[in-house]
Amino acid sequence: MENEKNVLKKSDNDLSEKEETLKLESETKRVWNAYSDINYDNFHKMRVAQEIMKDLKKAFVPSSGGKVLDGGCGSGMLFEMILKEIQPNKLIAGDFSERMLERAKGRIEKMKDKDKSKIELVNLDLSKKFPFPDESFDAEIFSLSINYLPYKKWKQSLDEAQRTTKRGGYIYIASQTSDFDFSEGYKREVLKEIKEKLFSGQLSFVLWMIKTKKTFVSRIDRWSKEDVIIFPNSQELLDYQKEIGFTDIEILARPFFKTCVVTRARKA
C-alpha cells in the first residue's frame, strides 16, 4: 500500500511538472508573439542591436557553400549579413514564435531572388532537441536567444549545437549576461535612447519603446527575479563551450556597456 501511494505521488508530481512546463512554454510564446506584434523590427534600430550586429559581422568566418543555422532568428535581422559575410548555400532560420517567423517571411520576400532561395524558415524550440541530424551545419548563430531560455536550458541548447555542428565548424553567440539587470538597464540606458529619439522627433519609436517595457521587458524582469531566467555570465559561456568540445573559444566583444558578450568557438 505504501509503495502504491509513493507511485501515485510521483505520478502526480510528474504531471504537475509537465503542466508547469506547458504553461511556461505557452506564456513564453505569448510574450514573444506580443513583442513581434508591436513591431519588433524597431529593435534593429536600437544601439544594442546595432552594436551586436557590428560585432557579429567582425566575428563571422566565411564558409562558402556551407550550411548555417540562425537559431532564434526573430524577424530576420541577421539574414542579409549572414549571407554576405559567411556565404552559405543554405541558411536554416528557426524561431519559437510564429509571429516572428511571419515577419521573417516578409523580410525574405523583399530580398533578391538569389538570396531568397537560400533561406528556409522552421519553427524551432531551442530548449528542446534540435530536429536536425548530427553534424548538419558549418556554422550556428545564436543572437540574443539562448540567454532567454528558462532554467539554464542554454546549456541544453549548446549541447544540441555541439551535436549538430560539423567538426571544424563555428558557433557564434551574442548573449546578455548576468551583469545586465533589466529594470536598472532600462532606467539607465534605454531612457537615454528615448530622450534622443524624442529630441529628433521619432515619436512612434518612443511609443514603441514604452510598449516594449510593458509587453516584454517587465516580463523578462519578473522571470529574472523569480529565477526562471538566469542569464549566464561570460565565464560560464566559455567554460561550458570548452566542456562540451569546442575549441579556439574567444570573447570578441562586450557590446552595450559590457552587458552583452559576443563569442566565437570552433568544434574540435
pLDDT tens per residue across span 92-118: 999 999 999 999 999 999 998 889 999
Terminal CA-CA length for the chain: 53
Phi, psi of 230, deg, nearest 5: -125, 105
Count of structural domains within the chain: 1
The answer to whether residues 153 and 232 touch, using CB atoms and an 8 Å cutoff, is: no
Domain containing residue 182: CATH number: 3.40.50.150
Read off the pLDDT band of 171 (50, 70, 90): very high
Tens digits of residue pLDDT in 256-266: 777 889 999 99
Pairing type for strands 165-176 and 260-267 reads: antiparallel
> What are the strands, taking DSSP E only, across the chain?
67-71, 90-95, 119-123, 137-143, 165-176, 246-253, 260-267
pTM for the model = 0.90
pLDDT at residue 55 is higher than 80: yes
Q: What is the DSSP letter of 49?
A: H
Question: Which residues form the domain of 263?
Answer: 1-268
Mean pLDDT of the chain: 90
Note the pLDDT of residue 7.
Answer: 43
Q: What percent of the chain has pLDDT over 70?
A: 91
Q: Flag whether pLDDT at 85 surpasses 50.
A: yes
pLDDT at 8 over 50: no
pLDDT, average across residues 215-227: 91
Provide mean pLDDT across the span 136-143. Answer: 98
d(CA 251, CA 207): 35
